[in-house]
């Protein structure tokens, strides 16, 4: 491994680094994490013209060697050779946006001063030309004293030339080593550097004709005080419509496949622990992970698309003021939005929030956004207890209740944010200073690659946890085995059943019965499991899903009072019934402190909300 030269891609955010990384390495990439920090480590390989391999790392975008985020810290530490688990690169490829030369050159000058062999990729020369900007790479190369290669990463242009230039830098005598730890900005003068960057940029630009940019025309609509929010609302509507509508068919196939597997295993295996383990543990466990995948993929696709086109920062811009009222900034908008599908990608998306307090608050409130796993629970309770009547033209009572549940979650999140920002996440009010990149048409190939990578990370992180939890719960529900003559059912007799007995004492004051207490335990794997858990406890054994739901509805109507049902709904608005979310929070905050805090505050909130709902409903005589 160490024999292969290591080259690092480094540059400002929005310089097109990732596209260049994709262009150089193709799909041969690995994503990991730097030790101790939640910064992704992207590595890949490519071959030089004569076939010699080069290892490439894509460093997080940075504005300078004076870091203001964990991402920028990793970048500085790698290029100065002090990063844990990374050797000093043999050469750097500095990526600069041709249309933003004077700005990007500041960081470039800092990097060149480190003394490592350097090649500059003058990227997005096509967009610069579209803007009427003509740059002479030769002049730039002379001024900087390093090779400059014009590239268009998304169109795969200039890649071979870039490889040839790298070849010259990593061959033989050119490999120098610098002293580790250099480059701390003591003698580096920011003002002088800015001036020099502007000078170099001015000399390299051979002509500049003002043109009306395509960008400005799009922004005239996208950032319009009236049209902008309307466009955003329309985009969100389409996105959510797609997340729920497009996923219906694939979810159906997955469930059908799961049913077929269960039936096959049922026929093949002999009765006993092993069979129960395979069906209720393994098939169920894998199934409950994969069933989320269609929605997650569709959501990721839209988010990637919005990010790659440059629209995402516009959405943050439009929403900033509203978020500011709750002590957050526009940067929190996207992670919270993703959390409506699933809190896990939402929490992972908070990495883009620079301010640590801001980020922490966003992570802590993300589970309050109504995720898709709550929908099956809401649907079954609403169908059983809320009459399907109309309370106005086009407004059904059932739909209204569902809407109120969504709103309760949002309001709860906003109030929680306000409180958190004044207590545990106290700090200066969130700030909002953001570069708004030019609009770009992304390549389908890059989107597909991004989608694949994110889906894989989701499967690995959430998948293992949901899977392990399901297996653990299976064990809790299967042991010890009830004797033949026991009046108790297996569920009641099991460890989980005994835990539920104790839990019932706690939740009885908020109107929950024994069956609910029992369903809450497996629902820790994923909220929607509550439905099948209830079906199990009411001993419903229908192979047909629709019939099973119908009989569950009838059972619930017979066994639960309306206040209990409403309290159950209120509980699910707030309760952190999702161990994967807790695990992801542990990962993203690098401590057990915040996931435990999250678990506690959300359970307290859920308990209080369910209690108030129950006793208000009882008081009203419902």
CB 153 to other proteins: min, Å: 19
Q: Are strands 390-392 and 205-208 parallel, antiparallel or unpaired?
A: unpaired
**Is residue 223 a contact residue for other proteins (CB under 8 A)?**
yes
**Is residue 103 a contact residue for other proteins (CB under 8 A)?**
yes
Candidates 435, 501, 542, 545: give the one binding other proteins (CB under 8 A): 435
**Is residue 446 a contact residue for other proteins (CB under 8 A)?**
no
**Is residue 11 a contact residue for other proteins (CB under 8 A)?**
no
**Spatial contact of 189 and 113, defined as CB atoms under 8 Å apart:** no
Candidates 137, 229, 399, 442: give the one binding other proteins (CB under 8 A): 229
**Is residue 215 a contact residue for other proteins (CB under 8 A)?**
yes
Name the residue among 23, 10, 80, 91 with its Cα closest to residue 54. Answer: 91
CB 365 to other proteins: min, Å: 20
Query: What character string, x for contact with other proteins (CB under 8 A) and - otherwise, covers 137-176?
Result: ----------------------------------------
- Sign of the dihedral defined by the CA atoms of residues 340, 345, 349, 355, in that order: positive
By the 10 Å C-beta count (0-12 exposed, 13-18 middle, 19+ buried), 179 is classed as exposed
What are the residues whose beta carbons fall under 8 Å from the beta carbon of 497, sequence distance 6 or more? Answer: 477, 488, 489, 491, 518
Longest dimension (CA), the chain: 92
What are the residues whose beta carbons fall under 8 Å from the beta carbon of 177, sequence distance 6 or more? Answer: 88
**Is residue 216 a contact residue for other proteins (CB under 8 A)?**
yes
CB 167 to other proteins: min, Å: 32
Structure tokens at 151: 């590239």
CB 427 to other proteins: min, Å: 10
* Stretch of 101-109, 339-347, 391-399, 405-413 lying at the interface with other proteins (CB under 8 A): 101-109
CB 360 to other proteins: min, Å: 16
Looking at the Cβ atoms of 232 and 243, the one nearer to other proteins is 232
- Sign of the dihedral defined by the CA atoms of residues 285, 287, 291, 296, in that order: positive
Distance separating alpha carbons of residues 582 and 367, to the nearest angstrom: 9
**Is residue 99 a contact residue for other proteins (CB under 8 A)?**
yes
Candidates 22, 25, 55, 64: give the one binding other proteins (CB under 8 A): 64
**Spatial contact of 308 and 446, defined as CB atoms under 8 Å apart:** yes
Candidates 29, 40, 48, 66: give the one binding other proteins (CB under 8 A): 66
Q: Is 424 helix (H, G, I), strand (E, B) or coil?
A: coil
Candidates 428, 441, 444, 620: give the one binding other proteins (CB under 8 A): 428
**Is residue 295 a contact residue for other proteins (CB under 8 A)?**
no
Radius of gyration of the chain (CA): 28
* Stretch of 23-31, 321-329, 578-586, 588-596 lying at the interface with other proteins (CB under 8 A): 321-329
CA torsion angle for 33, 343, 291, 302 (degrees, to 10)?
Answer: -80
CB 410 to other proteins: min, Å: 17
**Spatial contact of 39 and 88, defined as CB atoms under 8 Å apart:** no
**Is residue 126 a contact residue for other proteins (CB under 8 A)?**
no
Residue 511: left if φ>0, alpha if ψ -120 to 50, beta else—which one? left
Looking at the Cβ atoms of 432 and 594, the one nearer to other proteins is 432
**Spatial contact of 122 and 137, defined as CB atoms under 8 Å apart:** yes
Name the residue among 328, 408, 313, 330 with its Cα closest to residue 364. Answer: 328
**Is residue 330 a contact residue for other proteins (CB under 8 A)?**
yes
Looking at the Cβ atoms of 212 and 543, the one nearer to other proteins is 212
Structure tokens at 359: 């980020």
**Is residue 431 a contact residue for other proteins (CB under 8 A)?**
yes
Could you give the angle at the alpha carbon of 448 between the alpha carbons of 71 and 1, nearest 5°? 55
* Stretch of 427-435, 510-518, 570-578, 611-619 lying at the interface with other proteins (CB under 8 A): 427-435
Q: What is the DSSP letter of 98?
A: G
**Is residue 83 a contact residue for other proteins (CB under 8 A)?**
no
Compute how many residues bind other proteins; rule: CB under 8 A: 43
Residues 171-190 that bind other proteins (CB under 8 A): 190
Which positions lie near other proteins, rule CB under 8 A?
Answer: 63-64, 66, 68, 99-100, 102-103, 106, 131, 133, 190-191, 194, 215-216, 219, 223-226, 228-229, 313, 316-318, 320-322, 324, 330, 354-355, 428, 431-438
């Amino acid at each position: 491994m160490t024999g292969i030269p290591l080259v690092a891609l480094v540059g400002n955010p929005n310089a097109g680094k990732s596209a260049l990384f994709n262009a150089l390495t193709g799909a041969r990439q690995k994503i990991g994490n730097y030790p101790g920090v939640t910064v992704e480590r992207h590595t890949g390989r490519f071959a030089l013209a004569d076939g010699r391999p080069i290892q490439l790392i894509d460093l997080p975008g940075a504005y300078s060697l004076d870091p203001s985020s964990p991402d920028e810290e990793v970048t500085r530490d790698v290029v100065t050779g002090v990063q844990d688990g990374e050797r000093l690169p043999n050469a750097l490829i500095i990526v600069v946006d041709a249309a933003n030369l004077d700005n990007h050159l500041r960081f470039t000058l800092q990097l060149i001063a480190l003394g490592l062999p350097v090649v500059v990729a003058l990227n997005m020369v096509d967009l610069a030309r579209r803007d009427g900007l003509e740059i002479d790479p030769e002049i730039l190369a002379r001024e900087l004293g390093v090779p400059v290669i014009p590239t268009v990463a998304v169109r795969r242009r200039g890649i071979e030339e870039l490889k040839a230039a790298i070849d010259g830098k990593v061959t033989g005598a050119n490999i120098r080593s610098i002293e580790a730890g250099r480059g701390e900005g003591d003698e580096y003068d920011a003002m002088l550097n800015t001036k020099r960057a502007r000078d170099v940029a001015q000399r390299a630009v051979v002509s500049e004709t003002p043109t009306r940019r395509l960008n400005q025309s799009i922004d005239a609509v996208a950032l319009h005080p009236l049209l902008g929010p309307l466009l955003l609302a329309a985009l969100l509507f389409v996105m959510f419509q797609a997340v729920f509508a497009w996923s219906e068919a694939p979810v159906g196939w997955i469930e059908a496949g799961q049913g077929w597997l269960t039936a096959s295993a049922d026929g093949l295996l002999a009765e006993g622990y092993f069979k129960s383990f395979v069906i209720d543990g393994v098939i169920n466990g894998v199934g409950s992970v994969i069933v989320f995948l269609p929605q997650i993929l569709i959501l990721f696709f839209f988010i990637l698309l919005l990010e790659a086109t440059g629209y995402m920062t516009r959405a943050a811009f439009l929403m900033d003021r509203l978020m500011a009222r709750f002590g957050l900034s526009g940067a929190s908008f996207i992670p919270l939005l993703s959390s409506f599908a699933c809190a896990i990608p939402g929490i992972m998306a908070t990495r883009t929030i620079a301010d640590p307090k801001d980020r922490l608050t966003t992570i802590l409130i993300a589970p309050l956004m109504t995720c898709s796993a709550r929908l099956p629970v809401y649907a079954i309770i609403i169908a059983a207890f809320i009459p399907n009547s109309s309370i106005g033209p086009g407004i059904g009572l059932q739909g209204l209740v569902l809407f109120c549940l969504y709103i309760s979650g949002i309001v709860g999140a906003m109030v929680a944010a306000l409180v958190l920002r004044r207590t545990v996440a106290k700090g200066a009010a969130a700030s909002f200073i953001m570069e708004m990149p030019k609009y770009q048409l992304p390549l389908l190939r890059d989107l597909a690659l991004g989608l694949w990578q994110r889906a894989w990370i989701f499967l690995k992180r959430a998948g293992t946890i949901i899977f392990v939890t399901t297996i653990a719960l299976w064990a809790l529900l299967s042991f010890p085995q009830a004797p033949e003559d026991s009046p108790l059912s297996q569920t009641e007799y099991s460890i989980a059943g005994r835990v539920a007995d104790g839990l019932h004492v706690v939740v009885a004051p908020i109107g929950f019965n024994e069956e609910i207490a029992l369903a809450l335990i497996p629902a820790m794997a994923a909220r929607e499991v509550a439905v099948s858990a209830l079906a199990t406890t009411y001993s419903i054994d229908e192979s047909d899903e629709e019939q099973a739901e119908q009989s569950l509805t009838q059972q619930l109507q017979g066994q639960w009072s309306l206040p209990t049902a409403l309290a159950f709904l209120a509980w699910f608005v707030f309760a952190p019934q999702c161990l994967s979310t807790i695990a992801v929070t542990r990962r993203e905050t690098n401590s057990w402190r915040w996931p435990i805090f999250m678990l506690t505050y959300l359970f307290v909130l859920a308990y209080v909300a369910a209690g108030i709902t129950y006793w208000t409903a009882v008081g009203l005589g419902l």
